[in-house]
Amino acid sequence: MHRCLALAERGRGKVGTNPLVGAVLVRRGEVIAEGWHAGFGLPHAERVLLDGYHGDVDPEDVLYVNLEPCCHRGKTPPCTEILQERGVKRVVYGMIDPNAQMAGKGIEALRRAQVECIGPFERARCEWMNRGFVSLHTKSRLWVTLKRAQLRDGEIAAPGGASLKITSASQDRWAHEWLRGRHDAILVGVQTVITDDPLLTVRSDRALPSPLRIVLDPHCRIPPGARIISGALAAGTVVIVGPEAESAKCRQLRGRGVQVLEVPLLDRRFDYSALWRVLMTPTDGFHGIASVLVEGGAKTWQSFREEGAIDEEVILMGDG
Ligand code: AOF
Ligand code: ZN
């Protein structure tokens, strides 16, 4: 199962609103074939595994997969069918699929077809890896992590508003690998872009996926020279604007490859349920996202708190 999770991780940043899934076929304790879900709309892990494995499946072989095999025809055919066609007789699964179209029906279908199913196995780890996907289906919103760096006295910025270096190099490394590299998007309020002009990229020695950059910018105040909307970074940036944002400026941003998405306001703040809907709905060229890391600033953290939309909060305590 741990191998399934490692394979599943390869799909991070590519599967959109789909789950991260890996599968292995084991014969007498040895892995003989592997597969993973490599991207939104592409074949599922189990199908990738069986399409790439041309040998026979023995009745004693065990197929491990971190998510219940699907039983519905979505963008791809049901995995339960190919498992039966290829003679898989034993399945170990990590967790039930929270998608209401499955929700145990995949396992039921396999058991009805005399396939032995064992699980959920290593459920906590499997659910944690897919916490974004689980959140989409159980809360109808993304998984939200708040990240804050602060000095021991609680200070987060210099009195003049200029940015202050708070964290150490090792804290930065950890934050890049374990926070930025493990979320589908990094979100900031426009004031952070105006004050800090951040890059919002993952900087690490390891090859990690690049999350999208999202800016909450009701009146489209983002400075045209900001680094996240310049050069190659522009194509991975999403600016969320309100209905009254200046349309000429929005057009100019779109011309650079920036995605500009409109969300209605409620009491001078974005309507969060509409914001979730926009971010969870795949469109042409945007596969939707399942998790977001909110990096600031103070007003943006506050609005997520007031909305009650925080699943995890990480505070990096610095010595300054
Ligand atoms: C699996 N293995 O690798 C994945 C599963 O539109 P589709 O056809 O891609 O179906 C998407 C749904 O299928 C998704 O919401 C989730 O319930 C399941 N994804 N299932 O057995 C996989 N990616
Ligand atoms: Zn499937």
| 3-state SS record for 208-222 | CCCCEEEEECCCCCC
Q: Which among 46, 68, 127, 295 is annotated as catalytic?
A: 46
**CA pair distance 213, 199, nearest whole angstrom:** 9
pTM for the complete prediction? Answer: 0.92
Nearest CA to ligand 1 atom 2: 44
Beta strands 22-27 and 62-65, pairing class: antiparallel
Instruction: For the beta carbon of residue 32, count every other beta carbon within 10 angstroms.
Output: 15
Confidence at residue 268, expressed as pLDDT on a 0 to 100 scale: 84
Q: Three-state SS for 240?
A: strand
68 tagged catalytic: no
List, for residues 139-192, the tens digit of each pLDDT value: 999 999 999 888 877 776 554 445 567 788 888 888 888 899 999 999 999 999
Rounded CA-CA distance 233/29 in Å is 45
What pLDDT does 164 receive? Answer: 63
Report the distance separating Cα 23 and Cα 7, nearest Å.
8
Ligand 1 pocket, residue 137 CB under 6 Å = no
Alpha-carbon distance of 97 to 309, in angstroms, equals 23
Separation of CA 34 and ligand 2 centre (Å)? 15
Handedness of CA 229, 13, 198, 301 (dihedral sign): positive
Whether residue 32 contacts residue 55, with contact meaning beta carbons closer than 8 Å, is answered with: yes
Cα–Cα distance for residue pair 214/229, rounded to 1 Å: 11
Q: How far is the CA of 99 from the centre of ligand 1 (A)?
A: 9
Q: Which amino acid is at 110?
A: L
CA of 235 to the centre of ligand 2 (A): 30
- Taking the mean position of all CA atoms in its chain, how far away is CA 198? 21
Q: Which helix (H) or strand (E) holds 106?
A: helix 105-112
**Structure-block tokens of residue 262:** 């409109």
Write out the E strands in the chain.
Answer: 22-27, 30-36, 62-65, 90-93, 116-118, 143-151, 185-189, 212-216, 237-241, 259-262, 265-266, 269-270, 291-296, 312-318
Task: Give the residue from 101, 96, 124, 132 showing the smallest Cα distance to 16.
Answer: 132
Q: Which atom of ligand 1 is nearest to the CA of 36?
A: 3
Output the pLDDT for position 208. Answer: 82
For position 320, what pLDDT does the model report?
Answer: 61
Place of tokens 């007003």: 299
The pLDDT value given to residue 157: 58
Q: What is the pLDDT along the chain (320 residues), one digit of tens a residue?
A: 999 999 999 999 999 999 999 999 999 999 999 999 999 999 999 999 999 999 999 999 999 999 999 999 888 899 999 999 999 999 999 999 999 999 999 999 999 999 999 999 999 999 999 999 999 999 999 999 999 888 877 776 554 445 567 788 888 888 888 899 999 999 999 999 999 999 999 888 888 888 999 999 999 999 999 999 999 999 999 999 999 999 899 999 999 999 999 999 998 889 999 999 999 998 877 889 999 999 988 899 999 999 999 999 998 888 76
Q: Assess whether the C-beta atom of 44 lies below 6 angstroms from ligand 1.
A: yes
Q: What is the pLDDT, as a whole number, of residue 97? A: 98
